[in-house]
Amino acid sequence: MKKVFILLIAICLPLVAFAWGQTGHRIIGELAQNQLHKKASKKITALLNSSTIAMESTWGDFVKSDDKYAEFSSWHYTNIEGGVAREPFDSLAMLETRGALVYRVGYLIDELKANPDDTAKLKLLIHLIEDLHCPMHMGRPENRGGNSVKIRWFKKETNLHALWDDALIESQNLSYTEYADYLRRTRPTKPLLFDKTMILDWAWDTYQITERIYASTDKTVKSYNYIYEFKSVLDESLVRGGKHLATVLNYLYAK
């Protein structure tokens, strides 16, 4: 019985605890892979031992089970109260006491610029840039980024964080490659020339989406209508994640 219980935990944990879930992370990774410069793609493929960005994008969550990486747990989110204006937001977002996501994205970029062959830091950066574009990872501290906001989704109880990590994406019933291909065709985009000030801009954009999500919490009970209203927001968040991840990786590895 104990073994069965442990197995159930192992099966369910990715669905409730991981940012974007596996599918969301891999969609962003797949989008980024297709926007890499040839030099960056070659170098990154070698560093990932011929694996892909999509497949390695979940490493940052699974590595939490290793005590050696326990310090990274707070790197996956930055929680900020609602209704904050841009100037105080920028200051609050850089405080590691609120979760270190925004700060650590910049830190890892600097670390990899100095030592681009650090595979662990590369995989962690990939994961955290993707987290930076997951709305509930810029959530509010009083409800742990939506984890304690209970909602009804297709007549079942879940929470706001889990909805945006997994359920909304899974409602499309597509594999990560199918979803990424759909987004490439319907929302074509190109990477930018990276500037470090962009990190706070990306965080601010995510925070504004989070504000809208919190204001619409009561709408989740009408699940199909919620999908209709927020699917474009979801798609844009995934596309932005892929574009910005490619922007950073090209900056680090295209030269």
Q: What is the per-residue pLDDT across 132-187, written as a single tens digit (0 to 9) for each?
A: 999 999 999 999 999 999 999 999 999 999 999 999 999 999 999 999 999 999 99
CB count, 10 Å around CB of 252? 18
pLDDT at 19 (0 to 100)? 66
Rounded CA-CA distance 221/156 in Å is 9
pTM of the model: 0.92
Torsion 10-146-80-204 (CA) sign: positive
Domains and CATH numbers, the chain: 2-253 (1.10.575.10)
Model pLDDT for residues 112-131, shown as the tens digit of each residue: 999 999 999 999 999 999 99
